[in-house]
Structure 1
């Protein structure tokens, strides 16, 4: 097709011939549905901001897989209620979380929480 001296070539149709994709050692995705499911699962994972990572290191806060699972469930509950920024209380630990981004913004232990005022939150979730 020629339009005012510019030659436009239609884009070729490319078929996806890839049937499997390796995502991690020993794990393969065999269909688009599996790939989509894995991508959605990955998108639902809790992330840590650089600030939160630094605070956790400074305050010697260590969370195990069960703790992260509970935190993920708490974020899901906050999300279902329409929360944007939540305070999560988990034992003697307080986490400020961006619900939309599923990101822990800050982390405080019991000592750091004393006389602390939490601002810019619209909800709180107590994790048991």
Structure 2
């Protein structure tokens, strides 16, 4: 899903970044990405509806790798995985959601980075104390 498509689906966003409105309540998807960064708009929307936050790095990776958070309830499943890891006392966990991987700081409730299925093969994940598959 493209950034503009994501924002179009979430047509209720009204975020300000400095002096610029990212998307008025009835704006078009094209208007949504003008005047502000995707990362800021996405983070604001995620903070409104979901518990887990995304680092700036993770937001960049989502955009670069075209990871669709609305597909197959990815964001909801990610939040569930973080809750499961927190329940077991994890501090840094790898959450596998479908074909995507998210490295999450459970103690900070923040996604550190993301990987799509194309990058998973041949990777070594370090500095994690658990893995959750949801």
2:61 aligned with 1:81, yes or no? no
- Look up the match of 1:104: 111
- Look up the match of 1:29: none
- Look up the match of 1:63: 69
Taking the aligned partners of 1:67 and 1:55, their CA distance within structure 2 comes to 15
Alignment of structure 1 residues 1-128 onto 2, 5 Å: 45-64=51-70, 66-127=73-134
Structure 1 vs Structure 2 CA RMSD: 2.0
Alignment deviations for residues 63-93 of structure 1 (CA, whole Å, 9 cap, x no partner): 1182211111111110010000000011110
> How far 1:111 moved relative to its partner?
1.1
Structure whose CA Rg is larger: 1
Taking the aligned partners of 2:128 and 2:64, their CA distance within structure 1 comes to 23
Taking the aligned partners of 1:109 and 1:58, their CA distance within structure 2 comes to 10
More helix by percentage: 2
> How far 1:62 moved relative to its partner?
1.3
3-state SS of 1:51 partner: helix
3-state SS of 1:112 partner: helix
3-state SS of 1:115 partner: coil
Question: What is the aligned length?
Answer: 87
> How far 1:55 moved relative to its partner?
0.6
3-state SS of 1:104 partner: strand
